[in-house]
Structure formats: C-alpha cells, structure tokens
Amino acid sequence: MTMFIAKNRQTIWKVIDHLISRRQLITVRTEGYESSYTSRIIKASYMAEHSKHGNGPHLILGGLAPKDGYAIVRPGRYLTLKFMARGVLCEFRTQCLTSPRNGTDPKITVSFPESMVLPERRKGRRGSSEMPELISAVLTPKKGFETEKNYDLPIVDYSTNGVGIFVSEEDSDLIDGAQKGDRLENIMLFSLEAMVKVDGTVRHKSKRRRRGRQGVSSFILGIEFDEALMDFSALK
C-alpha cells in the first residue's frame, strides 16, 4: 500500500481524535533504543497555550507497558509512535516533554506531531474520493459464540458493497465461529470522522501467512453489506 507524509494539521487532528475515541493501542519506541512499549493517547491539547507542559499543542499518553519503559522514555528524548490503520502500520515522531516522578502518575506528555506517515486513499471504485476511508470495524458475536466479547478489528479493504477485515491469531475464535453465509448485525464501521452501523453476511474467509514462517498467522474476513452504502453523510 502506498504511504504518504501528512502535514495538514486538520488531518493529523482527525487521526489523533480517532485514536483517542477508540482507545486504540499504540507502540512507543525511543530513538536509539530497540525496545518498544504499548500505550494509549488519552488526551490532546490542540491550543497553542502556555502550560506546565510548555508552549504549544501536546498529547498525553496513559502510561507504558511494561513499566520498565519509564527508564528509557525520558524528557527531551525523541519517540516514534506507531499504530494500525487499514491493516498497515502508521507512525509519527514526537518528543517526550514530561514523564512520571516517583511513580505517582503514570502519564507521559509528548509534543504534538508535525507530520504523520499514513496510507493513501485508494482511487477508483474501492475507497473512491466520494466515499470516506473506512479504518476499522466492531463486530458483535452472534448467539452461540463461546466468548461474548466484541471484536474491534482493522479494515484492510472496502467498497460500497462490503469490507475485508483483518483478523489476527489472537481473535482466531472469530474465524472458527464465523461460517460462510452467517448473518452479522449492527456492524459498526468507523472512518476517521464518524461511525455508521450496517448489517451484512460473511462471504469468505482467507488465510494470510507470514514470510519465512510456517502456519497461519492471520485471516481476512469478507463481509457483504445487505444494502450498498450510498449515503456517506454519516461518515463525514
């Protein structure tokens, strides 16, 4: 997939808002170190105001896991934050402004990114300019599933008629339980701006394999909508 460097501040704001609203996991790596840690962006200040964090917009991360990352993620150091969008890894560079003292508050403050590496919108029939880019989907399991959890999964392909959803090994029980022809109701589709609910039918399950490794590592679940998406106002 073709990537591009987004520098438009409104685009970056929309991505940040999406990550916050979905409580999406991100990875944090300090430049010069190999270890990565997981976190979430829990708050964003978009105003160029003076505060204890300094001048200008900033982001607040809700702590690191594992906690030994606090010894590496220190004020003044540059960080690379990565997250998934449409099944591909996106990233942006930032600088650590504050980190916890004496373990009393796990939050970390970082500078607002000046740019982001994001996937380009697809041209033509799929993901056309008239159709907002679909980022992720939440599936509610049908009755009879062993687990009652909802599945929050990235969308890797989409059109007005359906979506292809990436399913990792961690959620392989969804693949085991979903059969071709199964009905799925109240599927929540998310763009960067909003959400819409649709109903659909499972049309295919395909396997994806990691290079150089044996065994199935992930799947694509293809879902056809009951009705083609024609009105995109709810997603804009």
Residue 63: its H or E element: none
User: pLDDT tens-digit profile of 200-213?
Assistant: 999 998 886 554 44
Q: What angle do CA 134, 139, 142 make, to 5 degrees?
A: 155
Q: What's the Cα-to-Cα distance from 71 to each of 40, 81, 103, 117, 174, rounded to whole Å?
A: 18, 17, 11, 27, 38
Which amino acid is located at 41 in the chain? I
User: pLDDT tens-digit profile of 179-236?
Assistant: 888 888 889 888 766 778 899 999 998 886 554 445 556 788 999 999 887 765 555 5
Indicate the pTM of the whole model: 0.56
Cα–Cα dist 198/75, whole Å: 45
**116 near 12, Cβ under 8 Å?**
yes
Domains and CATH numbers, the chain: 3-119 (2.30.110.10), 134-235 (2.40.10.220)
Averaged pLDDT of the chain: 80
What would the two tokens of residue 183 be? 């009905």
